[in-house]
Amino acid sequence: MPSVSPPAPGASLGEREFVALMAMIMALQALCIDSMLPALGITAEDLGVRDPNQRQLIVGVYLIAAGVGALFPGALADRFGRRPVLFVSLAAYVALSLACALVTDFTVMLVLRAAQAVTSAGLSVLPNAIIRDRFAGDRMARAQSTVAVIFMIVPMAAPSFGQAILAVASWRWIFGGMALLGLAVWLWAWIRLPETLDPANRQSIAPRAIVANMWTAASNRASMGYVIGAALLVSGLFGYINSAQQLVAEHFGAGATFPLIFAVMAGGMAVANFFNSRIVERFGARRVSHTALLAFIVVSSVQVWLAHQPHQTLWQFVPVMGLNMCLMGFLGANFGSIALQPFARIAGAASSFQMFVRMAVAASLGAMIGQAYDGTARPLAWALLAGGIAALVLVLYSEQGRLFRRLTPPGVVRPVPNPDVR
């Protein structure tokens, strides 16, 4: 990997194009997960899988491996710059999408999915670091929410994308479509995205420096409550994604309308992120997210009550689950910006560590929630409620027992001295 990335010829990104590009980079991983949902049954059958719950591993393995992979790209991007690491991640995404399209064995599929998740983890880590390079405070939360509005279009459309391909071709072409979109984003970023890492913030990749910088991120009380809290909230969402095809399409009988229902529910998150981007600078990321967290706990309680009714219907489940997903739109970007705010000079390493914690915890718990599927919405409902309550406790830990404060941006945490950057 070159120590100095090539310039982007003629790159002069306005804020709108910058936001759109960051959203599309992040959305590639969502496409890799959600576009497979309608095809899980067909893919598993074609590859000789008989256990219905085992099909979830095509998604679950990817999510867990993405969490492990998130540990590495941030530190590399703090040393070599954002562009080189981003392009390696995009190239791996394209190549391994094509490899997945050619497999004939389920175990090989899982191995390739894990490899794809690890090597392309920079697609979820680097946009946060790049945004932190340009923005701070509530303005960063606004930028992340605006990115999320565009980003959410892909999870909304991805199941329909997969369903449309299945209508005319094999499930293998879903991976071919991922590769084509990955190549398009690669070209866009190569031509238009300049390097955003300030040379003064370039870090060493000596193991001591990397470990010390990550320890700085891990030991920050004001940050870690939000990181782990976000992970617990997202674990419920991942649990839903893992079991959605069985729960909504099969148990509740949505059938062929499942992609549309999934899109509408994901659309609630996009709408919430849009409104969050409009109000967060006025009210502050803490006030907005704390209010949303309390509402999430109330709605999750209703979810538990409905799940224990004798004959819960699709139209009892969808509005309440959709409202929970909508509230996630006021939580994710705000929790992320609050957690990353103290780390301007080690944004890459901090973003890597925080993404690792979020993904490792959320994907592992999400897989357990999915595997706990018992033909009802009860495991999911209890997971959402437990995650919300635990997240509230962790936020109170970070905020030293007080909610709804609007604080001035905290002082920047300085990394370990870096005498040798060569």
Spell out the residues 6+ positions from residue 231 whose beta carbon is closer than 8 angstroms to its own.
357, 358, 359, 360, 361, 362, 365
Asked if pLDDT for residue 1 goes beyond 50, the answer is no
The model's confidence at residue 121, banded by pLDDT at 50, 70 and 90, is confident
For residues 24 and 181, what is the distance between their CA atoms, to the nearest angstrom? 9
Q: Which of 15-24, 178-187, 201-210 has the lowest mean pLDDT?
A: 201-210
Output the 3-class SS for 136-148.
Answer: CHHHHHHHHHHHH
Q: Which of 98-102, 256-260, 325-329, 394-398 has the lowest mean pLDDT?
A: 256-260
Asked if pLDDT for residue 97 goes beyond 90, the answer is yes
Tell which residue, 196, 157, 164, 144, has the closest CA to residue 5.
196
Question: What digits encode the pLDDT tens for the residues 147-170?
Answer: 776 666 776 677 778 888 888 888
The pLDDT of residue 229 is 94
Asked if pLDDT for residue 3 goes beyond 70, the answer is no
Question: How far from 355 is each of 43, 262, 267, CA to CA, in Å?
Answer: 29, 25, 24
Segment 15-30 shows an average pLDDT of 86
The pLDDT of residue 422 is 39
| Burial group, residue 167, by CB count within 10 angstroms (0-12, 13-18, 19+) | exposed
The model's confidence at residue 299, banded by pLDDT at 50, 70 and 90, is very high
Most confident segment among 34-48, 85-99, 124-138, 205-219: 85-99
Segment 129-139 shows an average pLDDT of 77
Query: Pick the residue with more confidence: 182 or 155?
Result: 182
Pair 98, 175: CB distance under 8 Å: yes
For residues 47 and 26, what is the distance between their CA atoms, to the nearest angstrom? 29
How many Cα atoms sit within 13 Å of 299 on the Cβ side? Answer: 21
The model's confidence at residue 2, banded by pLDDT at 50, 70 and 90, is very low
Tell which residue, 135, 102, 403, 156, has the closest CA to residue 272.
156
Q: Where are the domains of the chain?
A: 15-198+214-398
Asked if pLDDT for residue 420 goes beyond 60, the answer is no
The pLDDT of residue 388 is 94
Segment 298-305 shows an average pLDDT of 95
Asked if pLDDT for residue 339 goes beyond 50, the answer is yes
Spell out the residues 6+ positions from residue 135 whose beta carbon is closer than 8 angstroms to its own.
142, 143
Residue 219 token pair:
């030991």
Query: Pick the residue with more confidence: 141 or 24?
Result: 24
CATH class of the region 15-198+214-398 = mainly alpha
